[in-house]
Amino acid sequence: MIQGKIQKTWTTRDLKSLKFREGDPSKTFSKKKIVQSTGTFICNDLPKKFLAIAKKFKLEESVVAVQKMEVGQVLPWHKDGYITFIKNKQVKNKKNIVRIIVFLDASLPGHQLWIGDRLCTGDAGTYFGWNYDTEHMAANLGKQDRYTLQITGVKKD
């Protein structure tokens, strides 16, 4: 597992000003038919301050998004397939794909990120990551929206 902490360079106002669209989990979970909507909202049109964070991880072909998970939403246990990422970025070895999640707010009671058997929590700027084919889940069983920065990229050889 990858973990650490970066300095917070964003404000709550930065998060509130983002324009989110609803994520579409149907492609990921169509076989399981677990959820109709995760209540996860994604913003890909990000200010430079969020894109600069991704550069700190020195991944190639990075794709960056801010996710907002509303109260009561659960993204069940799964392994990401990265199908669109692999196709768009022409990834030759999917085992080199890395996903990083940066907490944009401090973890609050009910905000969950599990990677394998580990519950991951921390202050704003704390990050966790995993390599391709790692089982994980996220949930917002708290009282406030949960904001994270998601970075997907390829490890440099």
Domains (ranges, CATH) in the chain?
Answer: 2-154 (2.60.120.10)
Q: Evaluate if pTM is beyond 0.85.
A: yes
Q: Angle 104-110-113 (CA atoms, 0-180°, nearest 5)?
A: 60
Q: Could you give the CA distance from residue 9 to residue 103 in angstroms, rounded to a whole number? A: 12
Listed range (13-17, 56-60, 91-95, 139-143) with the worst mean pLDDT: 13-17
pLDDT of residue 32: 38
56 pLDDT band, cuts 50/70/90, is: very high
**Closest C-alpha to 148, from 24, 40, 28:** 40
Q: Residue 19 phi/psi, 5° resolution?
A: -100, 110
- For 40, the enclosing helix (H) or strand (E) is strand 40-43
Residue 74 predicted with pLDDT over 70:
yes
Write down the pLDDT at residue 47.
86
Kindly state the average pLDDT of the residues 28-33.
37
